[in-house]
Structure 1
Amino acid sequence: MQTGRAILPQGNMMKKMTLFALALVLGLSAATAQVRQNAFGVELGSHSTALYELTLGRHFSVTTRAGLVLDAGFSAKKDLDGKRFAFGGLTPFLSFEPRWYFSGQSSSDLFHTGGYLTVRFNGEWARMTILGPSYTKGDDRPLYTLSFAPTFGWTFGVSDNSYIRLSAGLGFFRTKVGYDAGKHYWRTSTKQGVITVPIEMVYGIRF
């Protein structure tokens, strides 16, 4: 009887341990779940783009995008015309972004959700701008801009394959400006004593 009493608790304990181990395995499996390694998509908003994202693990990915950026901005200082807001049209751009997602497991297997940090490397071709300002012969005219921006962003899942993404960063740029016949100079954030704050608001769909 004593042996029987000893075996019964051990049996219950074994069942509990088995259930606990099963729950732990299932929990670890869910915790280590990753989004799909390769994903294509489109984004519409401040940046209208086609994109490709390569997932390198639960917390890392590399994203490349190409499309049109809405070139509009607000300045704390007035320009020569006394304006603070400027609209520069839709400018073709290409970007490369290594991202670190710090918010853990994603709610979708097509994209990471939650917060992330990145350094965005960007190239814009101002000379190909659509609906941009007009220039007369001899005017200083931006040709292209190279920039990088440490950025914080957050991706909100809307459905299994769509999301809303918001981000803001600190941008540092170098712009080639043409004037006269083939002459040019470089306009930089350092020379102008400014730091831009690039903001993105987009709705994305993944395939």
Structure 2
Amino acid sequence: MNVRSLLFGLMMLVWGNSLQGQEVSRGRLGILLGGMNGVSYDYALTNHLELGGTAAFVLGLGYGGSSKSFQFGGLTPLLELAPRYYFSRQEGDRLFYKGGYLSLRLGAQIDDWTLFPSKAVRESNVKSHYTLGMAPTFGWSFPLSEKSALRLGIGFLFYRSKRSYAGDSYYAGQSYWEKTHRLSDAPFLLDIAYSIAL
């Protein structure tokens, strides 16, 4: 399945659900803590579908294949838009959806503005400037109280990253695009967020 088919299928799902004439939509402003730290706004389109927007700092944690160790990359600013389709109905007056969901996370990350970059990032001969990403995600949402919820998910990240060479190499100053070419190259992306409704 290619990316265009996936996007077209998601758009048809959104359009079909919005035509069902279900109860009035509702929005929710909140604070995110965890893998993403910032603010979010989730808007319920139907009993199953919500659209989420996020402005946050992403906690850069990863597992290095060559070093065989966990690495910290810093806190990087991110803007994200994520339609989510929940399999279970939203019942009653609950603020948060409960149960399994499918999502398509679309984000733009500004790597040049990373706070507290690690020594490995600072001394690298390759500098990343910004990254555009798309991550089909499956997960589960757990309302913890009337005003809080925990969301856990996992997906594959397809990205395009603008990078340039630094240092004294022959290619210093030259920029290029690095991108995901196939599913086997796509890294796992975790969706771990604790939401508090304001």
1:53 has 2:42 as partner: yes
How has the CA–CA distance of structure 1 residues 108 and 184 changed in structure 2, closer, same or farther, with 3 Å as cutoff?
farther
Q: 1:62 aligns with which of 51, 68, 81?
A: 51
CA RMSD of aligned residues (A): 2.4
Q: For structure 1, list consecutive stretches of 5 or more residues without a partner in the other structure.
A: 1-32
Q: Distance in 2 between matches of 1:192 and 1:175?
A: 16
The TM-score normalised by the length of structure 1 is: 0.74
1:84 CA displacement: 4.0
Q: Is the counterpart of residue 44 in structure 1 residue 48 in structure 2? A: no
Deviation of 1:103 after TM superposition, in Å, equals 1.5
Matched residues, number: 171
Counterparts of 1:63-78 in structure 2, within 5 Å, are 63-75=52-64, 77-78=65-66
Whole-angstrom distance in 2 between the partners of 1:154 and 1:193: 24
Q: Which runs of 5+ in 2 are unaligned?
A: 1-21, 167-171
Q: Deviations over 1:52-109 (max 9, x none)?
A: 111111011110001111111124x31xxx3443221111001001111112234752
Contact kept in structure 2, 1:108 and 1:160, CA below 8 Å: no
Distance 1:58 1:85, change over 3 A: same
Specify whether residues 35 and 65 from structure 1 end up closer, same or farther in structure 2 by C-alpha distance, changes over 3 A only. farther
1:150 corresponds in structure 2 to 136
More strand by share: 2
**3-state SS, counterpart of residue 198 of structure 1:** strand
Aligned residue number for residue 183 of structure 1? 174
Take 1:56 and 1:49, find their aligned partners in 2: how far apart are those partners?
A: 23
Q: Which residue of 1 aligns with 2:147?
A: 161
| Identity in percent | 35
More helix by share: 1
- Indicate the SS of the match to 1:58: coil
